[in-house]
């Protein structure tokens, strides 16, 4: 990468509540646009359209009983896509459960994502992508991110086995990026992870997707700190707030943070990015947000929807037209439909896989338990296990 985002200092030497912006709600420029090609800009748009459509279909699948509980991301596409496109393949994403778009950009297929929410062990992780399995226990992924970044900085020790995941780092190039919500900043793991990142000055980026709510708890009741970005000061690292519903602003900040992580030039490597955004839908499909928040609040945030905003900017600057948009629309629909078909066509996992990958080598006791299952299935059929 070039030093294209040059003015790092301008991005990092600012008050925590001095939010970085590039596009306003109407798509007009209010800040410096990132240095990107037209194709890269349109690709961000396409990814956001894909994410929105995927999300709508996933919610529908849950309603139809074709999928389990699902955490929707509508409204949060810009922060996910605008940041994830910055990462190189060798970089790591360490996500929470809501980063469907970010992990897809980084290489997890849509069907792998769907399979996880369909309760299928083959889903949720990619064989090739540097994406950690989604962390459901809040904030637990944050110290992992620091650890991945520490390993990256320390570099390979020349071991033959290539590390457990076959990804022994090459001398300090990979950056690790955590995603988590505003609620996660209240957990001890947030503090411990960021504190260690600061002490060891590791190449990590901590992206806080502040969507205003942690289920029913509003951001103001989560912490008395005026901003989440400001918490970075406690760890001696840079903290910056960005309009997380502006994909171009997110991109700029993320790119600066990633470049700084690779080449710190007297600044601390780690960065806390507070991407301010809103979740349009429910916390999960099991949640009813009307109990705790006003429709008027949702309506106000919908005006900041990242997708029409970028669309307007791209149209007005001649980078996108009706034909291209139709093409993208058709493409996105086909891609999601194919992913659903692929996920649903995946055979129900063999029940005996239950006993696999608990340890590298199945223990004798697990072998016995597996044999018990086999005997019962032989004798009574699978009905022996299906609870009524």
Ligand X SMILES: Cc1ncc(C[n+]2csc(CCOP(=O)(O)OP(=O)(O)O)c2C)c(N)n1
Q: Is 215 in the site for ligand X (CB under 6 A)?
A: yes
Closest CA to 242 of 259, 254, 224, 225: 254
Q: Is 94 in the site for ligand X (CB under 6 A)?
A: no
Rg (CA), the chain: 22
Centre a 10 Å sphere on the Cβ of residue 202 and count the other Cβ atoms it contains.
26
Question: And the tokens for 302?
Answer: 């919908």
Closest CA to 14 of 26, 28, 31: 31
- Judged by CB under 6 A, the stretch of 1-9, 37-45, 209-217, 368-376 that binds ligand X is 209-217
| Least distance (Å) between residue 107 CB and another protein | 21
Nearer to ligand X by Cβ, of 34 and 95: the residue is: 95
Nearer to ligand X by Cβ, of 189 and 259: the residue is: 189
Sheet containing strand 176-181, strands side by side: 92-94, 176-181, 204-210, 271-276, 238-243
Query: Do the beta carbons of residue 182 and residue 211 sit within 8 Å?
Result: yes
Beta bridge partners of 20: 242
Q: Is 116 in the site for another protein (CB under 8 A)?
A: yes
Distance from the first to the final alpha carbon of the chain: 57
| Least distance (Å) between residue 351 CB and another protein | 4
Query: Do the beta carbons of residue 347 and residue 341 sit within 8 Å?
Result: no
**211 binding partner (options another protein, ligand X, none; Cβ < 5 to 8 Å by kind):** ligand X
Nearer to another protein by Cβ, of 317 and 353: the residue is: 353
Q: Contacting ligand X (CB under 6 A), which of 143, 147, 183, 306?
A: 183
| Least distance (Å) between residue 246 CB and another protein | 26
Question: And the tokens for 375?
Answer: 């005997």
Across 227-261, b (16+ Cβ under 10 Å) vs e yields bbbbbbeebebbbbbbbbbbbbbbbbbbbbbbbbb
Closest CA to 274 of 231, 240, 245, 250: 240
x/- contact string, 31-70, with ligand X (CB under 6 A)? ----------------------------------------
Query: Do the beta carbons of residue 181 and residue 97 sit within 8 Å?
Result: no
- Judged by CB under 6 A, the stretch of 100-108, 133-141, 162-170, 224-232 that binds ligand X is 133-141
Q: Is 234 in the site for another protein (CB under 8 A)?
A: no
**83 binding partner (options another protein, ligand X, none; Cβ < 5 to 8 Å by kind):** none
**330 binding partner (options ligand X, another protein, none; Cβ < 5 to 8 Å by kind):** none
Given the residues 63, 221, 292, 302, select the one marked as catalytic.
Answer: 292
Question: And the tokens for 83?
Answer: 């940041």
Which burial class, exposed, middle or buried, applies to 344 when counting CB atoms under 10 A from its CB (0-12, 13-18, 19+)?
middle
| Least distance (Å) between residue 37 CB and another protein | 39
Q: List Cα–Cα distances, 171 to 146, 149, 257, 324, 338, in angstroms.
A: 16, 11, 19, 42, 39
Q: Contacting ligand X (CB under 6 A), which of 95, 147, 181, 270?
A: 181
| Least distance (Å) between residue 222 CB and another protein | 5
Given the residues 47, 49, 267, 283, select the one marked as catalytic.
Answer: 283
Q: Which residue number is nearest to ligand X in terms of Cβ? A: 181
* H runs (alpha helix) in the chain: 8-12, 38-63, 77-84, 100-105, 110-117, 141-154, 188-200, 219-222, 247-262, 295-302, 306-316, 322-345, 364-380
53 counts as catalytic? no
292 counts as catalytic? yes
x/- contact string, 135-154, with ligand X (CB under 6 A)? -xxx----------------
**354 binding partner (options another protein, ligand X, none; Cβ < 5 to 8 Å by kind):** another protein
Query: Using CA atoms, how far apart are residues 15 and 17, in angstroms rounded to an integer?
Result: 5
Given the residues 106, 255, 279, 309, select the one marked as catalytic.
Answer: 279
279 counts as catalytic? yes
Q: Is 292 in the site for another protein (CB under 8 A)?
A: yes
Q: Is 214 in the site for another protein (CB under 8 A)?
A: yes
Binding site for ligand X (CB under 6 A): 98, 136-138, 180-184, 209, 211, 213-215, 283
Q: Which residues are catalytic?
A: 279, 283, 292
């Amino acid at each position: 990468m070039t030093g294209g985002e040059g003015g790092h200092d301008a991005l990092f030497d600012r008050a925590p509540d001095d939010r970085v912006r590039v596009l306003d709600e109407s798509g007009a420029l209010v800040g410096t646009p990132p240095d990107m090609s037209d194709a890269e800009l349109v690709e961000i748009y396409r990814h956001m359209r894909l994410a929105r459509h995927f999300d709508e279909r996933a919610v529908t699948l849950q309603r139809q009983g074709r999928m389990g509980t699902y955490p929707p991301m509508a409204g949060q596409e810009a922060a996910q896509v605008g940041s994830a496109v910055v990462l190189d393949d060798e970089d790591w994403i360490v996500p929470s459960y809501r980063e469907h778009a970010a992990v897809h950009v980084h290489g997890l297929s849509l069907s792998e994502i769907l399979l996880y929410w369909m309760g299928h062990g083959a889903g949720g992780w990619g064989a090739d992508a540097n994406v950690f399995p989604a962390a459901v226990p809040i904030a637990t992924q944050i110290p992992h991110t620091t650890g991945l970044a520490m390993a990256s900085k320390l570099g390979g020790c020349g071991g033959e086995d290539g590390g457990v995941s076959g990804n022994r780092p090459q001398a300090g190039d990979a950056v690790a990026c955590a995603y988590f919500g505003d609620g996660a900043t209240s957990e001890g793991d947030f503090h411990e992870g960021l504190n260690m990142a600061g002490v060891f000055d590791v190449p990590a980026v901590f992206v806080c997707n502040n969507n205003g709510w942690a289920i029913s708890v509003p951001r103001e009741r989560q912490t008395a700190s005026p901003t989440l970005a400001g918490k970075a000061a406690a760890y001696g690292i840079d903290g910056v707030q960005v309009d997380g519903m502006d994909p171009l602003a997110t991109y700029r900040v993320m790119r600066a943070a990633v470049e700084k992580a690779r080449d710190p030039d007297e600044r601390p490597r780690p960065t806390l990015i507070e991407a301010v955004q809103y979740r349009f839908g429910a916390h999960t499909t099991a949640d009813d947000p009307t109990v705790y928040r006003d429709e008027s609040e949702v309506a106000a945030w919908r005006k900041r929807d990242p997708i029409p905003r970028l669309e307007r900017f791209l149209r007005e600057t001649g980078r996108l037209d009706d034909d291209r948009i139709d093409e993208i629309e058709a493409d996105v629909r086909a891609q999601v439909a194919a992913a659903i078909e692929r996920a649903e066509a995946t055979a129900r996992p063999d029940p005996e896989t239950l006993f696999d990958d608990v340890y590298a080598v199945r223990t004798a006791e697990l072998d016995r338990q597996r044999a018990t299952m086999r005997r019962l299935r032989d004798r009574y059929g699978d009905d022996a296990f299906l609870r009524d």
